[in-house]
Amino acid sequence: MKIEGFTLAEVLITLGIIGVVAAITIPTLINNHKSVQLRAQLNKTYSTLLQAVNMIYADSGMPVTSESYPDQGSFVKDLKKYVKVLKDCGNRECSEINSDDYTLNNYKNFTRTSNITYTLFDDGQLILEDGTFIMVENLHVGHLFIAADINGFEKGPNALGQDLFSFQILDNKIVPSGAPGTKYDIEINQGYCSPIGNQSTNGFGCTYKALTESDYFKHLP
């Protein structure tokens, strides 16, 4: 009886083809999984913050605006009552601050070309039980912001618009930065979410795009 099998050359060619196909498809699969995961984390964080702001308003009866919190650091005291806090970092315990220019060494702009300014995040920091890192900007002249690192500061890329997202509180509502009417409105200035910009504010307006564009996380710079 004659038994036929594959030759060594045929086996090697087949393995080579499999390797090429894997090299092409696996990075795409990994990127798709990562994008789905980041989108889910962002939606969860947004929902958590929405509920917290709504509960602050319901319990206090006081409008949740920057004018209601004239003292720097006063808003985070209310916020921490309505989110599950693992650690209160004060104003800077969980930040890596560059003393020369007062930027954050561990956080970059959208294109990761420059550090971002610490003074935009210096009014309270919290680590939540799910790992989310919260930073608050509580300035009484019309600005009340919450920035959320949705996968924690110990996990990269630690960049605005990639895993760090900014929200602005306007008239009892928490609004994704970049939306019409927010300080970082991308309809007014596209540089707030640009794939090529190197300014430190690039990325502040990306939250709105991340929440409204289904393929946003698949095309990060």
Q: Would the pLDDT of 1 be above 70?
A: no
| DSSP assignment string, 40-90 | HHHHHHHHHHHHHHHHHHHHH-S--SGGG--STTHHHHHHTTSS-EEEE-T
**What pLDDT was estimated at residue 21?**
64
Please write the tens of the pLDDT for every residue from 92-112: 899 999 988 899 999 999 999
Is the pLDDT score of 89 beyond 90? yes
pLDDT for residue 99: 86
d(CA 1, CA 21): 37
At 161-206, the pLDDT tens digits run 999 999 999 888 899 999 999 999 999 999 999 999 999 999 999 9
Phi, psi of 75 (to 5 degrees): -65, -40
The DSSP output letter for 138 is: E
Write out pLDDT tens, residues 146-161. Answer: 999 999 999 999 999 9
**Mean pLDDT estimate for the chain:** 89
Q: Which pTM was predicted?
A: 0.87
